[in-house]
């Protein structure tokens, strides 16, 4: 049997990293077995739908290298792939389930349900619908419908026994049926709930493995009872641990969690993000941490997914992403860094900026960081740290000798190039008979105010003669 997994997001805007991780895991599960990866848009909550979100989801997955085999924009044999275009299908199966005795019409209005919620709150027990409409006769139902009363269709959950299933990550799961609510399947606006539509769609689209967050662990018994009521074959379940922040609170788009596009626009490499997110809650058999997508496909084993919440650690993401930054061509690096420099400082000469960006390739973790590490080339401020001041005061006579000679020679330099500046520094050392740290560190501090940075000749070249001479006069 061919493995088929699906990624089924709601079209509500940017994709936060927890949602993207679910897509990645689903992709890896099916591609390891040469299966199909399906995109299905679950827009049953029309109030939250954002125009253009489907195209955005496609673009996000494409940037990450996750090829969609079937979906709304590229079609397939199991469409339509947008739930709002499948309403007739859900209506058909809902009616069938009512006829089978697995569901019923419920006419309870919001006022009555609110009273039940308040009662549950006073008793300090979870709210469960009390099944008030479970046993209405056909005559009563037809009369209410004839009178125009609004209704929903609810699942008729058995009130005895247990419902059990196996999960790849969490193992054997068992739930008492009397603690499961008669969930709504079709809302009063005739749209299906997620809980109903995803079961029908997964069956009709031949989904073999369902990969989703572990918040659905307790809902899965109700899904399985639907599968049983229809006589459908159940999929393999892989529930994923939450992705949490440093305070161990669940990452959520509604609560400002970082989205993939936030990271992308900050200059993170999509493949680096995919690499890092795969390591959130999953570990390979080896100590390897940097993977290509193909290597992840080969190494991925869902049985190695951890049950514990995975902490989104920006420092670890930066460490992983830095490996990808170092592998970029200069043109690729330019694309993810230059826009940030322009936003901060305005238009910059392309040749000069490429030189600047190139010498910081091994010093940054993501594109936007270029702004922080290159401030000395854009600011008029000149500050020397206490540590640098202490170094210059260790041997004032030598420092003075080096800087006097350097200022004379740099002032006379007509060919302003890294090569000529490199030669000049060596000549200064020979003339004053100083070498090593006392030569290079002295000049670095004097021209930049800093003790550390990229190669000294590059630093001098990028600062420019005018600024170098100006800084030397401040020593």
DSSP string, 117-144: HHHHHHHT-------TTTT--HHHHHHH
Last residue of a domain, one of 218, 240, 262: 240
For residues 339-355, one letter each, b for 16 or more C-beta atoms within 10 angstroms of the residue's C-beta and e for the rest, the string is ebbeeeeeebeeeebbe
Task: Note whether 111 and 225 are same-domain residues.
Answer: yes
Catalytic residues: 253
Residue 267 lies in a domain: yes
Task: Note whether 96 and 163 are same-domain residues.
Answer: yes
Task: Note whether 156 and 101 are same-domain residues.
Answer: yes
The parent domain of residue 335 ranges over 328-377
pLDDT of amino acid 382: 87
Dist. CA 118–CA 115, nearest whole Å: 5
Residue 428, token pair as written in the block: 């200064």
> 435's torsion region: left (phi>0), alpha (psi -120 to 50) or beta?
beta
Q: What's the half-sphere exposure (Cβ side, CA atoms, 13 Å) at 337?
A: 30
CB-CB contact of 202 with 193 (8 Å): no
Identify the CA nearest to 31 among candidates 304, 295, 279: 295
pLDDT of amino acid 291: 97
Above 50 in pLDDT, residue 255?
no
Above 60 in pLDDT, residue 364?
yes
Query: Please, what sign has the CA dihedral across residues 442, 444, 449, 450?
Result: negative
Last residue of a domain, one of 377, 396, 417: 377
Task: Note whether 269 and 165 are same-domain residues.
Answer: no
pLDDT of amino acid 221: 97
Q: Which segments within 305-402 are labelled E, that is strand?
A: 310-311
Task: Note whether 291 and 419 are same-domain residues.
Answer: no
SS3 289: coil
With cut-offs at 50, 70 and 90, classify the pLDDT of residue 147: very high
Residue 323 lies in a domain: no
Residue 199, token pair as written in the block: 């079961």
Dist. CA 40–CA 27, nearest whole Å: 13
pLDDT of amino acid 268: 97
User: How far, CA to CA in Å, does 361 sit from each of 14, 322, 334, 356, 468?
Assistant: 29, 9, 10, 9, 23
Residue 337 lies in a domain: yes
Last residue of a domain, one of 219, 240, 261: 240
User: How far, CA to CA in Å, does 234 sit from each of 71, 199, 227?
Assistant: 22, 9, 6
Task: Note whether 93 and 217 are same-domain residues.
Answer: yes
Residue 259 lies in a domain: yes
Concatenate the DSSP letters of all residues of 420-440 into one string.
HHHHHHHHHHHHHT--THHHH
Task: Note whether 220 and 97 are same-domain residues.
Answer: yes
pLDDT tens, 277-324? 999 999 999 999 999 999 999 999 999 999 999 999 999 999 999 999
DSSP 191: P
Task: Note whether 91 and 156 are same-domain residues.
Answer: yes
Above 60 in pLDDT, residue 257?
no
pLDDT of amino acid 54: 86
Residue 149, token pair as written in the block: 């009363």
pLDDT of amino acid 253: 53
**Number of domains comprising the chain:** 4
> What is the average pLDDT score of the chain?
94
Q: Collect all residues with Cβ–Cβ distance below 8 Å to 436 and sequence separation of at least 6.
A: none
Task: Note whether 166 and 32 are same-domain residues.
Answer: no
Dist. CA 277–CA 22, nearest whole Å: 9
Residue 322 lies in a domain: no
Residue 321 lies in a domain: no
Average pLDDT score over residue span 126-153: 95
Question: Which helix (H) or strand (E) covers residue 165, if one does?
Answer: strand 162-167
Dist. CA 251–CA 11, nearest whole Å: 18
Task: Note whether 344 and 407 are same-domain residues.
Answer: no
Residue 118 lies in a domain: yes
DSSP 259: B
With cut-offs at 50, 70 and 90, classify the pLDDT of residue 256: very low
Above 80 in pLDDT, residue 394?
yes
Dist. CA 385–CA 402, nearest whole Å: 20
Q: Which residue has the higher pLDDT, 246 or 67?
A: 67
Average pLDDT score over residue span 123-147: 94
Dist. CA 36–CA 207, nearest whole Å: 9
Residue 318 lies in a domain: no
Q: Which residue has the higher pLDDT, 256 or 47?
A: 47
Identify the CA nearest to 469 among candidates 433, 416, 419: 416
Task: Note whether 211 and 106 are same-domain residues.
Answer: yes
User: How far, CA to CA in Å, does 239 sit from each of 116, 307, 407?
Assistant: 31, 9, 66
Task: Note whether 235 and 94 are same-domain residues.
Answer: yes
Q: What is the CATH number of the domain that holds 178?
A: 3.40.50.620
Instruction: Give percent of the chain above pLDDT 90.
Output: 88
């Amino acid at each position: 049997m061919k493995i088929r997994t699906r990624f089924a997001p709601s079209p509500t805007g940017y994709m936060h990293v927890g949602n993207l991780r679910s897509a990645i895991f689903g992709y890896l599960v099916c591609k390891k077995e040469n299966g199909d990866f399906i995109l299905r848009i679950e827009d049953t909550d029309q109030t939250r739908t954002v125009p253009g979100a489907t195209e955005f989801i496609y673009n996000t997955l494409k940037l990450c290298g996750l090829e969609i085999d079937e979906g709304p924009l590229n079609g397939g044999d199991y469409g339509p792939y947008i739930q709002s275009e499948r309403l007739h299908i859900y209506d058909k199966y809902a009616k069938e389930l009512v006829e089978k005795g697995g569901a019923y019409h419920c006419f309870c209005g919001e006022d009555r349900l609110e009273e039940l919620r308040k009662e549950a709150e006073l008793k300090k027990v979870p709210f469960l619908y009390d099944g008030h409409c479970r046993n209405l006769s056909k005559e009563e139902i037809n009369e209410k419908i004839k009178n125009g009363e609004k209704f929903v269709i609810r699942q008729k959950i058995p009130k005895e026994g247990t419902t059990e299933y196996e999960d790849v990550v969490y193992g054997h799961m068992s739930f008492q049926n009397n603690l499961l609510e008669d969930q709504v399947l079709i809302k009063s606006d005739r749209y299906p709930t997620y809980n109903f539509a995803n079961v029908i769609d997964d069956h009709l689209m031949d989904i073999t493995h369902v990969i989703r967050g572990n918040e659905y662990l307790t809902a899965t018994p109700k899904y399985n009872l639907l599968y049983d009521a229809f006589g459908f074959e159940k999929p393999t379940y892989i529930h994923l641990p939450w992705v949490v922040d440093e305070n161990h609170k669940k990452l959520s788009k509604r609560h400002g969690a970082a989205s993939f596009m936030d990271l992308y626009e900050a200059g993170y490499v999509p493949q680096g993000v995919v690499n890092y997110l795969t390591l959130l809650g999953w570990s390979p058999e080896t100590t390897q941490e940097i993977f290509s997508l193909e290597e992840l496909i080969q190494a991925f084993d869902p049985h190695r997914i951890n049950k514990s919440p995975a902490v989104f650690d920006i420092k670890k993401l930066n460490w992983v992403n830095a490996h990808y930054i170092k592998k970029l061509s200069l043109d690729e690096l330019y694309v993810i860094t230059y826009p940030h420099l322009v936003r901060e400082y305005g238009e910059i000469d392309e040749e000069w900026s490429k030189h600047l960006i190139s010498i910081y390739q091994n010093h940054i973790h993501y594109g936007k960081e270029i702004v922080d590490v290159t401030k000395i080339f854009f600011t008029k401020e000149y500050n020397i740290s206490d540590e640098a001041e202490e170094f210059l005061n260790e041997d004032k006579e030598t420092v003075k000798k080096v800087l006097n000679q350097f200022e004379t020679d740099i002032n006379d330099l007509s060919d302003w190039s890294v090569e000529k500046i490199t030669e000049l520094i060596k000549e200064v050392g020979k003339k004053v008979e100083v070498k090593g740290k006392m030569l290079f560190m002295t000049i670095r501090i004097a021209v930049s105010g800093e003790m550390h940075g990229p190669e000294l000749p590059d630093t001098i070249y990028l600062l420019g003669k005018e600024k170098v001479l100006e800084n030397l006069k401040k020593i």
